[in-house]
Amino acid sequence: MNILVTGGAGFIGSHVVDALVDDHLITVVDDLSYGHEHHVNQEAIFLNLSITDPGIDDIFVSGNFDAVLHFAAQKGVRPSFDDPVFDAELNVIGLLRILEASRKHNVKNVVLASTGGTIYGEAQEIPTPETASIDPQSPYTITKRAGELYLRYYSNRFGMNGVTMRLANIFGPRQDPAGEAGVVSIFIERLLAGQPLTIYGDGNQTRDYLYIDDAVAAFVAVVDQMGSGIAGDYNVGTGQETSVNQIVGAIERVYGNPIEVKHTEAIVGELKRSAIASQLFAEKFNWQPEVSLNEGIEQTWEWFKSGGFSVDV
Ligand SMILES: NC(=O)c1ccc[n+]([C@@H]2O[C@H](COP(=O)([O-])OP(=O)(O)OC[C@H]3O[C@@H](n4cnc5c(N)ncnc54)[C@H](O)[C@@H]3O)[C@@H](O)[C@H]2O)c1
């Protein structure tokens, strides 16, 4: 297949490209605002362009794409509080430009990376199924939800196969610890720099941590089954709650020494608990997470320790 991957220089997108590039023709569009060009697989075509650029339509003219995997986004909850306008320009208008171009140029398959970790708010049922009520509590989550609804509209109205992947907290090599990124990469980077770890609140807040290889396998499974009958909104996670304190414990095991931890005030409005049920996705796409938290943390630790972002890997 001929596939466009937006945000393909980023954490998740670059790994997905690596997994697809042997069997598909891959074009990556990324403006490198957060991503890294050296993470873009050399076998892929790379275009340094913003998805908010009206010229994005041009690449669809010659692209002849069968599918779009859409990762490009402002991905942080906290930055979205500070600048909700930027968040919406990128996560809503940027997505709309991709959807409009897809419609005009007859791209039938669009996959959206959405958020399973925040979309249900403080859910009643954990692990939370897709049938639970949606309760976005940040501009970021509102724009992701808007994206899901736009994708559904394009699917219903124009016959697209729109697949929304409500991802858990993905972690692994290449996750950028700068700014508000995943807690695993932030903690590992600080440890390697000899700095203490900071936990907001008591550290008992839980999330659903899915290792990058399992997330990649989920996207590959969707690409493998691409076609009619797959449209929908799917949770993609482990169903397991893990607290920040447990993450510290798992990192401590690979570090081999006690870790110094500082606690600061809890972040106002931060969710206390989150984990998502992925049975729907697992059954439809014959997928299961296979990498344990400890294994994933070990792999991530090794990557950062062997150079991480400072080495071209
Ligand atoms: N990492 C997670 O745990 C997680 C969880 C749920 C959802 N998601 C979603 O998955 C997607 C990928 O997340 P990630 O962790 O890989 O983030 P990332 O920041 O590493 O990747 C996003 C990529 O998009 C690119 N980008 C940003 N603005 C762009 C623009 N205007 N034009 C073109 N490219 C642009 C960035 O340069 C970056 O390479 C995002 O949509 C995010 O919201 C991630």
Q: Where are the domains of the chain?
A: 2-174+208-237+277-289
Atom 23, ligand 1: which residue's CA is nearest?
7
pLDDT exceeds cutoff 70 at 182: yes
User: What are 188's two structure tokens?
Assistant: 């590992």
Ligand 1: atom nearest CA of 182 is 3
**Cβ-based neighbour number of residue 49 at 10 Å:** 18
CA of 16 to the centre of ligand 1 (A): 12
Contact assessment for residue 191 and residue 301, using Cβ atoms and an 8 Å cutoff: no
pLDDT exceeds cutoff 80 at 180: no
Asked which of 137-146, 173-182, 186-195 is least confident by mean pLDDT, the reply is: 173-182
CB 172 less than 6 A from any atom of ligand 1: no
Average pLDDT for the chain: 95
pLDDT exceeds cutoff 50 at 34: yes
CA 264 to chain centre: 27
Given this model, what pLDDT does residue 188 score?
96
For domain 2-174+208-237+277-289, is the CATH number 3.40.50.720? yes
CB 90 less than 6 A from any atom of ligand 1: yes
Given this model, what pLDDT does residue 183 score?
95
pLDDT one-digit tens code per residue, 121-150: 999 999 999 999 999 999 999 999 999 999
Given this model, what pLDDT does residue 311 score?
56
Q: Above pLDDT 90, what percent of the chain?
A: 92
Atom 12, ligand 1: which residue's CA is nearest?
71
| Angstrom distance (rounded) from CA 27 to CA 13 | 11
Give mean pLDDT, residues 194-216.
96
Confidence of residue 267 (pLDDT cuts 50, 70, 90): confident
Given this model, what pLDDT does residue 86 score?
98
